[in-house]
Amino acid sequence: MKLTKIRLTKDASNRLRFLAGKTGLTPNLLCRLGFCLSLAEPRTPNPDDFPEEDREFNRYTLLGEYDSLFIALLKQRCSEDGLPIDLLPEVFRAHLNRGIMLLQNRVKGLSDLAELVASAQKTSHRSL
């Protein structure tokens, strides 16, 4: 498994710039939030829908100190979806791109983001 660089689609890259401008948050943080949104979706994203065509991230810069947590979450999701571990790089890219799109559809500013996080916290507390 070689997952060191992740490239976004042009659309996701543009959406990420828009989100960063509206929220003032770094692209890395926005990518992490979007990735989690995508993992929460029931449908598996198709990697073929997200060509590698624009902005490139170093995985360790993107995920930071939470790298092992995000990779564990992705491996769990791949297992639940019945996907082989060798598809991890493609599935990661698909979730990242889809997540940015989901985030941009839900968040227009910091107040929307605060509501999204608060809602996620309530949901996670109910499931415990």
Confidence (pTM): 0.89
DSSP SS3 for 56: strand
Tokens of 31: 């990518």
What's the pLDDT at 128? 46
Phi then psi for residue 5, to 5 deg, are -125, 140
Domain span at residue 30?
A: 5-127
| Rg (the chain; Cα; Å) | 14
**Separation between Cα atoms, residue 11 and residue 13, nearest integer Å:** 5
What's the pLDDT at 127? 53
User: Which tens digit of pLDDT belongs to each residue from 9-24?
Assistant: 999 999 999 999 999 9
What's the pLDDT at 126? 54
User: Which tens digit of pLDDT belongs to each residue from 91-125?
Assistant: 999 999 999 999 999 988 888 888 888 887 776 55
**Which residues have C-beta within 8 Å of that of residue 48, sequence separation ≥ 6?**
none
- Name the domain count of the chain: 1
Among candidates 26, 53, 45, which has minimal Cα distance to 92?
45
**Separation between Cα atoms, residue 100 and residue 30, nearest integer Å:** 7
User: Which tens digit of pLDDT belongs to each residue from 37-83?
Assistant: 999 999 999 999 998 888 888 998 999 999 999 999 999 999 999 99
Q: What is the CATH number of the domain that holds 23?
A: 1.10.1220.160
